[in-house]
Structure 1
Amino acid sequence: MTPDRIDRIFLRLRERTDTQSAVIVCLCTGDTLPEGCSPMPREPSPATGILLAEDFVTVFEQALHLNAAVHDGAIIVSRSTATEDYRISGWSYRLHPNVAAAPAVANRGSAFNSCLAMSCVNGVDRVYLATKLQLFSYQRGNITQLN
């Protein structure tokens, strides 16, 4: 899946019915979670292993319907190798990356700055932050606002 196609999938987050909460999605590659990710277990927990595809918004809204608390934390979307497809591997993760790795920017809020720092962690391919009005993509300390 190309980065442009992934961007288009997450641009659809603007169509979601619950726009009050920010949505964070962390894409990563490797057999283990990147450093700085801690699960916040939820009961009931939405299904994992779901292929990242154009229906992501629907999958996300179904997860919220099952357990509204999943919005509190990042969604981890991972693959073992760069040749595999991304799949949802976890809901509601705390991101606490080593901030020393992140570029220095003015504080724009904990979600914004955590996503920026997380994008610098080994194994993280890209991080997305969807707010009520904007979508940001972070990759290796670079920020792109998507429209």
Structure 2
Amino acid sequence: RKRQYLNLDINQLLADEGIDSNQLIPRHPDMENLPTIEKNAGAPLPVYLPLEVFDDEEFDCRIPKEWIGLGYEPGSCDRKPVPAKALLPVNDILGHEDPKSRNLTYQWCSVGVLDYDQQKKIYLVHKADVYGHVRDAEGNQILNGGVTAAG
């Protein structure tokens, strides 16, 4: 089954169902061009439901600690990033400044999962380069969630 899933493309699966991944992220409303009920036969505003509403951990095959643990190789004490896909802004700078900007485009990216925040229930990811490597600004491989001896 793992090989079957490796051949699937999340972006294509969503597109096949008529879902534009770029529309999955909530944006600031355009106050000058709010649709009216007359213009939009459905709801007057885009509908957004947070992912947390659908997040049912009961059926997860692994807990977050186990997912992060997949980065350990036998005989190594270094934890490598776990390969994954994430819906992230194309423009990293604007994405950090204002993730709900109407000027941002989001796309599915190859990432490495570095860590998990138990309180916020979110994973820390870092975009992979074109070769699938997860490296810091100096080109070094990111290990152990990015935590170094210097902190």
What TM-score results when the alignment is normalised by the length of structure 1? 0.25
Q: Greater strand share, 1 or 2?
A: 1
* Larger RCO (CA under 8 A, 6+ residues apart): 1
From the CA coordinates, give the structure whose radius of gyration is larger.
2
